[in-house]
Chains A and B, each alone.
Chain A
Amino acid sequence: MNREQLLNAIGNVDESMIDEMEQLRRSAKVVTLPSQTENASPVAKKRSRRFVVCLVACLVLALGGIAYAAASLLSGGDLTVRDMPQDELDEIINNIGGVSMRWGDESAPADLPVPAVGVKIQYTVPQDLRIPYTSFTGNVLNCAAEFDEHNCSFVEDPDGGNYSLFSFDKKNLPSVDAGKQYIGYAGLKFPTVSLPQNDVSVEVYGTRTQNGETVNDEIRRIYLSASFNNVQQDIPSETYRGIFYLHTSARLLTENYPWGPEDVSAVDMSALFAEGAQVTSQTEDRIAANREFRVVTLTFTFPDEHSDGTTLPVCHRYVFWQENNVVYTLSIYYAPESVAVADSLISEWMNGFAD
């Protein structure tokens, strides 16, 4: 077989696919195909032409307005949300403890199914987000000498499979400003919220070892994270009502990251292991500080009391944004009744990006 034969074979693919393509190209005006019902009289054509001219004029005005508004609004990446199939959930269950996850019943047979529901969220930024080394002026690039290797992180490879990165370590820092200084990237913003700050850390992944062998000390991915919650306040712990767990992170890729043009910016999973649990998801765009943020809200419902003593439902909301090649994520847990407070915290964070 050679390329010509391959091209010939592509030319003889099933016609239904060519038909599908024609619809697509026609809608994109790559080709002009007449409609099946084209048979208008000259008078009707003349009248319809006048109508079309008016319509086009109206559309031009309307689209001009939209384009003007859109041009002044910064936009982020694309968000996809899907239910996780049972086999993916099973893999998570096995990864996070297998039998011990079966409600603490160590005597339970290993193959006893764990009831679970879950959703996978993917935020994709279709552009190269890698940042040159020279743009990092903090000590972060020397962290390989500072830390021992520690964890291994698996990153979803756009070509399929997993790509592994080794973490040099997680460095705890006293404040967000200290974290920003440690990284030293001028484009990094990191808004905070009015909740007690729990911790701030910088996590660095690279290629210090691969397959047990030292390769080099390339820094490939850097996270700045901060978590906030108000659990120390005197709020009944049997419910999430009034309690907020909020986590924010900024992710930066260096020039040594293996891919960039189609960037899977954040892959997150939220799962609930509970008998009879259900999850629904809702996505929306929110505008603040002249930016269009992607938001997804998961609502978990559960017929009985949860094993940790909390009562459900509980909501888990994620907000995504990308700016100056940095991908930002906020996630917050809250009870549905507390949505107004959760929203005000999210707005505070989003408005923190204002120039």
Chain B
Amino acid sequence: MTDSEIVMLYRNRDEEALRETMRRYQPYLMKTALQILGDEQDAEECVNDTYYAAWNSIPEHDPVNLPAYLAKIAREKAIDRLRYRQRQKRIGAEYAVSFEELGDVIADTDGAESEADAARLSEAISQFLKGLPPDARHLFLGRYFYFDSLKDTASYCGMSESKAKSMLHRTRRKLKKFLKKEGFYE
């Protein structure tokens, strides 16, 4: 069954859509969630939340790329769950490191932000990433979208860890400059 056939099942409110999604994407979504949460049980719950969210959202949204759409939901759910867990001081190791690294780009300030601002920020980051050489973009997304370890990210980007580290550092600095230029902060 192809992705578009699965999306069609969602649109037709056919529960086979969920079974097929699980069959195809369970390991992928587990990996995504686990990378953030670092706990299998939490990751599993998060993936279940993802299926539920997909079931509720697909008639309204029409995903062009099903796995990317599901990964975004899974990531969001995992981060939500993590925030809940943060109060209990149980943070996924890679998420914690990635989160720390992003301190280069933005120091924590007042968190007030409207939905429109959030959308504008996502759009700006997309624009920034599209302007990067593929290597730098892959590294950045591997590290801050999927929270893959530096070792894994460097490996699938075909470079040494030290090169990846230095490239990520430069990309964060460029992003900081870009966001400043775009007026996201002083």
Contact = CB atoms under 8 A, between A and B. Distances in A.
Contacts, number: 153
A33 B26 CA distance: 9
Interface stretch (B11-19, B46-54, B134-142): B134-142
Contact of B121 (A5, A16, A31): A5
- Of A6, A8, A127, A261, which is in contact with the most chain B CB atoms at under 10 Å from its CB? A6
Nearest to B71: A18
B28 A21 contact: no
Interface string B164-186: 01110010010000010000110
B129 A17 contact: yes
B156 A28 contact: yes
- Of A19, A22, A32, A262, which is in contact with the most chain B CB atoms at under 10 Å from its CB? A262
Contacts of A24: 138, 142, 156-157
Contacts of B185: 1
B117 to A, nearest CB: 8
Contacts of B28: 22, 31-33
B161 to A, nearest CB: 9
B106 A7 contact: no
A233 interface: no
Q: Is the interface of B mostly helix, strand, loop or mixed?
A: helix
A126 B162 CA distance: 7
Interface string A1-33: 111111111111111111111101101101111
Nearest to A260: B162
A159 B24 CA distance: 42
Interface in B85-140: 98-99, 102-103, 105-106, 108-111, 113, 117-119, 121-122, 124-126, 129-130, 134, 137-138
A39 interface: yes
B21 to A, nearest CB: 11
Contact of B24 (A2, A7, A34): A34
Given A1-B109, A127-B160, A14 B130 contact: yes
A64 interface: no
Contacts of A1: 106, 109, 111, 113, 117, 121, 179, 184-185
Contacts of B71: 18, 22
Contacts of B75: 11
Given A12-B122, A24-B156, A36-B2, A18 B141 contact: yes
